[in-house]
Amino acid sequence: MKKRMEGKVVIVTGAGSVGDGWGNGKAAAVLYAREGAHVLAVDLNENAARDTQQIISDEGGICHSVVGDVTEVKDIETIVSTCLDKFGRIDVLHNNVGIAQVGGCVETSIDSWNRIININQTSIFLMSKYILPHMERQNGGSIVNIASIAGLRWLGFPYVGYSASKAAVMSITKDIAMQYASKGIRANCVLPGFMDTPMIREPLKSSYGGDVDTMRKKRDAQCPMQTMGDAWDVAYASLFLASDEAKYITGVDLIVDGGLTLKCV
């Protein structure tokens, strides 16, 4: 039986994990490989990228890791050229890089605002800018951008930079989807809700009393399903949108939140 991503080449940014356990990008990279894709795992942290590569290799998959800052054009050019040299094409761009910081307009410093926007928003613009021409020459491709339900609604605490950047990701995605629809290129977003991943633990624990276990319990209780999701929930949603199973889907925001956005409070 043919695997869902067999014959596809996938670039995953933020393919490592910022701490112990499975981050969204790490899980996505491994899942793409399990489904037959050749994966270029990109991360700013060399050890994190190599760890993902090792997991894929140990499972019999194909992966090459690259260290790169996806806010820097020179690094992006290296990422693209490396992928083409190693695998010959780029079928899927999975933009996962992002950071989170709590704070409203007054509490958030200008430097922090600019950093969040640069990493969460500008990186997607730049990666897409340098990869779309290759997809266009191939007459097809798929972009999966990881946004957040924070781009849709208030989550219980001020999150101005993160929320603004993720709302922008959704808008960028729709713009790409419309411009490139006739060229066989699709662009979609995954919007995670409350996910128990390494990235959220340190930045958010202060908003829940300063303790990770307390934060987990409170966030679990806020979810209609009474538990947070995990990186694999995001990965499987991304896999669907990247695959040919979603060949007639573009410009959508796929919410993966266990029903959280259905609540009034």
Closest listed residue to residue 161, CA positions, set 217, 208, 105, 243: 105
Show the 3-state SS of 146-171: ECCHHHCCCCCCCEHHHHHHHHHHHH
Catalytic option among 32, 159, 162, 180: 162
Nearest Cα to Cα of residue 177 among 148, 149, 116, 135: 135
Residue 12 to residue 250: CA distance in whole angstroms: 19
Which tokens hold the place of 196?
A: 């128990």
Comparing CA positions, the residue from 7, 24, 2 lying closest to residue 140 is: 7
Residue 130 a catalytic site member:
no
Active site residues: 162
